[in-house]
A and B are shown apart, each in its own frame.
Chain A
Amino acid sequence: MSLLEVVDLSISFGGVQALAGVTLSVEEGEMVGLVGPNGAGKTTLFNCLCGNVAVDEGSVRFDGVVMDRLSPYQRARLGIRRTFQRVEVFPDLSVEEHLLVAERARLGQPTLWRALSRRGRESASERVGIQEMMERFGLLELAGTPVAALSLGQCRLVELARALQGRPRMLLADEPSSGLDAFETAELASTLRSMCEEEGVTLVLVEHDLDMVRKVVGRAVVLDLGRIVALGSLEQVLADPQVRRAYLGEEAPAS
């Protein structure tokens, strides 16, 4: 059985059909690239998986659990973490505290008393994991900096580290390379790949930079106007005439 099974998912915003019957399954440990032109519905698909928007039709299972009625935080507790296309960080918290919040949230909901009485600093055992994660993303020197003072590229790294600190089973990354330069992107690609491989995290990567996609994923799904237009290895998919048309417009000569 696949880890993620999306069946016939549809959602529309007013007149815009953002997703029209998307059916997709992702195996455990797989790395999938989700590509498509602007407005294809990639971010919307992530929002549906995480429960941030209510779908019109269709159903999503994660590890055999039907998630349709779960609230976003309950879905997160099943082991889904994501990053955001428009970075979502906590401006008042430092980098270290971001990871601490994620670490604590991973361990589930504390009792009311414990939530009130527990210290806001990390314990020694928590610190080890957090330091290691910061090191992997090169954030160690920034540990105590409030995130509001970081650049966009650094914020993206914080988001990724925060998501991975939750030890997810599946990571949904939405354009992690935007805001990074070519060198940083290449580095991010290798970090992401090795982290996910080591920890056995299933990755769904939305990315416009196809070089990065090529380095990370094993399989690609192409979305256009809310529909899946092609599936398969990246090279195979990019050769598909329908995909080229989606990217280049109708007039493009079919190769």
Chain B
Amino acid sequence: MGTFFDFAFTGVPYGCDFAILAVGLVLTYRATGVFNLAFGAQAYLSALVFYVLVRSSHLPVWAAALVAILGLSPAVGIFLDRALFRLLPPGATVGKLVLSVGILIAIPNITSIVFGPATRLSPPSLVFNLNEVYFHVGSVPVNGLELGPAVVTVLVVLVLLALLRWSSIGLRMRAVVESRRLAQMEGVNASGVSSFAWGLSSVLAGLAGVLLAPLDASLHSSDYTSLVVSAMAVAVFGLLRSLPRALAGGVILGVIQTIVAGYLPSNSTLSGGIQAALPFLLLAALLVGVPSMRRLEESQDPLSVCDPPAPPLAAAVRDRRLERPMRVGFWLLVVAFLVSSATWIPGDWVYELGIGLSLSVVFLSYTLITGMAGQISLCQATFAGVGCFFAGQLAIRLGFPMLAGIAIGGAAAAVVGVVVAVPALRLGRLPLALLTLAFALVADNLIFPYSWAGGGASGLFLPEIRVGSMNLSNPRPFVFLSCVVLAICAIAVLLVQRGHLGRALAAIRGSEIASVSLGLNVNRAKIVVFALAAAMAGIGGVLYGAVQQAVSPNDFVYEYSLVFVVVVITTGATTVEGAIQAGMAYAIIAQVLTYVPQRLDGLEPILFAIGTVTYAAHPEGIVEYQRRIWMQRVGRLLARWDQQRAGGPGPRSGEAPRGEHAGQERSPAIAPGEAAPIILGTDS
């Protein structure tokens, strides 16, 4: 039995870390409504600063801890709250989610620019000596590595419980959790409370980060970003409410993880995969299985019904005279692009443009899921991988032509899309995003590493796309091929968007309960759009693989899904043009950045992560927004020109009929749900 307890004890410190992070997640979520995916990145930041201070600046551990955990961490948290999250309107679920993904991506990239990408071995311990054995439980020795996190975690949870129950800030916090605005009307400084919650939870993140560091031989940002998903599983286990439950859940998860790993044959793909995927499987199961988790974000402020509806986006008013020049300009651009990429553009640029076109196809899937269904999916890179690997394996093993593989890969991804969509049907936006993230991580750990899927560590080498004697995998012909595929996919998306299904989805996005009351089959519409989106991602994935030829599971890990979301949301997730611009911008910026020093490697994701900040102001995306503004300006100019030609101040016919915020001019809505007074003839 010795081994069983050995395994169990090695799991405890991990479990404690999960628990601390989970508690922090729950704190910010309850107090501010933000489910902070960037929490793991904040933990990493503290761990890294702690490491640098101790190992490079040779500060004593207590001083480094003071700076990293109690100084930097809450400062970052409060900054995120004040400078970013507070700008979002209440109830902007998608906005909050996207912003936190942006931060999650930005932090590790910024740190690698600031501190350099060196490997950092043997991180220092916060409390206790790592290898010293303090006492025995039965015959099992307990060393500092295991004891430290456990002691700290129990202390932290006790302090927090006391704080929430007995202190006055705890009481105010609970009031804000119930209703931010009601609390404000009662004189509670809600923004102070939310800053406090952010600061406090960030301290927890920092603490967890520093405690976790010595458990691994070296410090890696990727360990931390997926760590937050484990913490999410624990938070959901605690029903996003109970701190003791979260603590218990964390420890149980950590212990189970090491026990499972201990009893499975070591060094097999399966055991490593299961150990890593366990938290994600658990998260998926909890999201689907626990009814109260299905609609996380709908614990709304009771006063939110008092808000007038959001102002509608002004219709893209365009003067009719602009239509023809625009169309001509578009075709000129396409021809110029094709001719240039066939002739004078250098080879490495053409290759990168081919990648951009393939990614544009992947990004079309966001036009469907985010633009039409109003959902955020964090597993589109996984679907792309499914398409790519399926087509690749068929081509390698059975000799299928790669050209047919483009369609086959799309179909395979669509099937997997249906498999993911069915359990996700009843989920709200936030749980759906989390479920897709969990799915991406499960695929990364449990499916793609196999040689029959992603080709294992060495990856796959895809055959060329051939038509007759022409090799379409060469960059120049590939640009033509991918343009054709992109055009077909874009037209398909446009048709769906403007057609019956697009209308139905707009209705469902607006009010699911009302759509159902009309007899719409909401589930089917959702499954169809999910499958279509997965197919787009799959098709794009095959193209993406075909131009690179050598692909491995690393090309489709969950981090790409996160980056993709951020890129598309920044440029515009509601239109087909937005998706294409996203793909091209991504590729072109990547190519431009090859000219800057190596050290600035992470600049591109940082740029797009910064772009997510604009989401609050114009959710239709930067490019789309600019285009609208320009159309309006040109329209106004044309109108003035008309006027002058007609002579004198005639009616300004070309003026936009509806201004930017036309909706705000209307009188504020009477609160729906407010009952009319009872008019009962009492004296009848």
Contact = CB atoms under 8 A, between A and B. Distances in A.
Interface of A: 37-38, 50, 52, 72-73, 76-77, 81-82, 84-93, 97-98, 100-102, 104-106, 108-110, 112, 114-120, 146, 148-149, 151-152, 159, 162-163, 166, 175, 177-179, 208-211, 235, 238-239, 244, 247-248
A115 B679 CA distance: 47
Interface string B498-529: 11111110110111011111111110110010
B676 A208 contact: yes
Given A91-B312, A149-B312, A247-B680, A116 B499 contact: yes
A247 B678 contact: yes
B503 A97 contact: yes
Contacts of B597: none
A69 B662 CA distance: 45
B669 interface: yes
A177 B510 contact: no
Contacts of A244: 682
A163 B513 CA distance: 13
A207 to B, nearest CB: 9
A90 B502 CA distance: 13
The listed residue with most B CB atoms (<10 A of its CB), out of A146, A159, A235, A238, is A146
Nearest to A90: B510
Contacts of B676: 175, 177-178, 208-209
A179 B672 CA distance: 8
A72 B663 CA distance: 33
Contact of B503 (A76, A100, A175): A100
B348 interface: no
B519 A38 contact: no
B501 A116 contact: yes
A222 B500 CA distance: 42
Nearest to A51: B516
B674 interface: yes
Nearest to B498: A120
A159 B145 CA distance: 63
A177 B513 CA distance: 21
A138 B511 CA distance: 23
A50 B305 CA distance: 23
Contacts of B500: 104, 110, 114-116, 118-120
Interface residues of B, number: 50
A83 to B, nearest CB: 8
B617 interface: no
A175 B670 CA distance: 14
Contacts of B675: 38, 175, 178, 208
A152 B519 CA distance: 24
B309 interface: yes
A112 B513 CA distance: 22
B290 interface: no
B663 A93 contact: no
The 9 closest A-B CB pairs, nearest first, are A90-B510, A76-B519, A88-B514, A118-B500, A88-B511, A86-B673, A72-B516, A105-B518, A105-B519
A95 to B, nearest CB: 13
A117 B684 contact: no
Contacts of B520: 73, 101, 105
B314 to A, nearest CB: 10
B681 interface: yes
B312 A89 contact: no
A91 B513 contact: no
Given A87-B672, A91-B309, A178-B674, A209 B518 contact: no
12 contacts: A38-B675, A72-B516, A73-B522, A77-B519, A84-B514, A85-B673, A89-B510, A93-B507, A116-B500, A120-B500, A148-B309, A178-B676
Given A120-B500, A149-B663, A208-B676, 5 more contacts: A52-B516, A84-B517, A87-B672, A100-B503, A106-B518
Contacts of A105: 515, 518-520
